Structure 1
Amino acid sequence: MRDKQIFQDAYFTVLVDEQIGIVRTIRSSTPFASLEELDGVFARLGDALDALGRSRYGLLADLRAGPGRNDPQFEAAMERLRPRWTGGFRRVGVLVRSTVGLLQIQRHARSDGFERMISKHEDELLTYLTRDV
């Protein structure tokens, strides 16, 4: 296995594959206990990603296990916090489980205003993230 784990908490595991230049953030199935908790979770995740030097890597955000949630308060918090998670990478790919998840992430991409590939197929995302490396 080429992946090296650099971070883990109840919500995310972060793996780095130096050989192909990919960082994976893998969302667990644990629901966030409260909206107040999100700032700390994303601060710790962001700090771990910052330590890598984001621009050297493609980011594969694996959301397949994450519990679906789209209430307005959560959506607003995530709009504010997503850049701390996904900003600064060479490319971003988002791996989803369902068509509903794909549509939700497409909506986020339009709102955030930066390009990312969204797919239910990991191989497709890896090809995108490693192209021109």
Structure 2
Amino acid sequence: MLYRDDYFEVWVDPARSLVRLARTERAFESIDHARASYASLAIALATVERRSHGVLLDLRAARPRSEPEFERFASESSATLLRPFRSVSVLVKSAVGRLQVQRIEKERGTAVFTVFTDESEALAHATR
């Protein structure tokens, strides 16, 4: 495991050139907790050669948050962290989750993520 805190777990699979980044089920207590977690996550991901790796962001365990400030922060921070990767797959639990991620992507105006509800499809995309 490359990194772990209360909110994220990160594994690197060098054989597949894959980074698997999973949100835990613990909800952020505040936007300040989210900022601190993302800052630590950025330090950990800086150790990976992102252009040669795909990333799978697994959001299935994450609790939904719909506060505009939090959505904006999480979307922009995730895009900034993940944009340098060769490919980015986001794995969600349901079609509703897929629509939410796509809506946030559209509002941000930049398509960074490809969203999946099927793990094998998400892995295939991330490792292509």
Report the TM-score when normalising by structure 2.
0.92
- For residues 21-60 of structure 1, the aligned pairs below 5 Å read 21-60=17-56
Shift of 1:49: 0.7
Distance 2:33 2:64 in 1: 17
Distance 1:37 1:25 in 2: 18
- For residues 56-67 of structure 1, the aligned pairs below 5 Å read 56-67=52-63
Shift of 1:55: 1.0
Asked if 2 retains the 8 angstrom alpha-carbon contact of 1:46 and 1:84, the reply is no
Asked if 2 retains the 8 angstrom alpha-carbon contact of 1:60 and 1:125, the reply is yes
Distance 1:87 1:101 in 2: 21
- The answer to whether 1:80 aligns with 2:73 is no
Q: Aligned residues, how many? A: 127
Distance 2:109 2:9 in 1: 23
**Equivalent residue number for residue 119 of structure 1:** 116
Output the aligned Cα RMSD.
Answer: 1.3
Deviation by residue 1:73-125 (Cα, 9 ceiling, x = unmatched): 21122233223432200000000001111011112222251342211111101
- The answer to whether 1:71 aligns with 2:67 is yes
Percent identity (aligned): 35
Deviation by residue 1:41-79 (Cα, 9 ceiling, x = unmatched): 101111111111211110100000000111112112223
**Equivalent residue number for residue 9 of structure 1:** 5
Asked if 2 retains the 8 angstrom alpha-carbon contact of 1:43 and 1:84, the reply is no
Q: 1:104 aligns with which of 100, 106, 109?
A: 100
Structure 1 gaps, min length 5: none
One-letter code aligned to 1:118: V
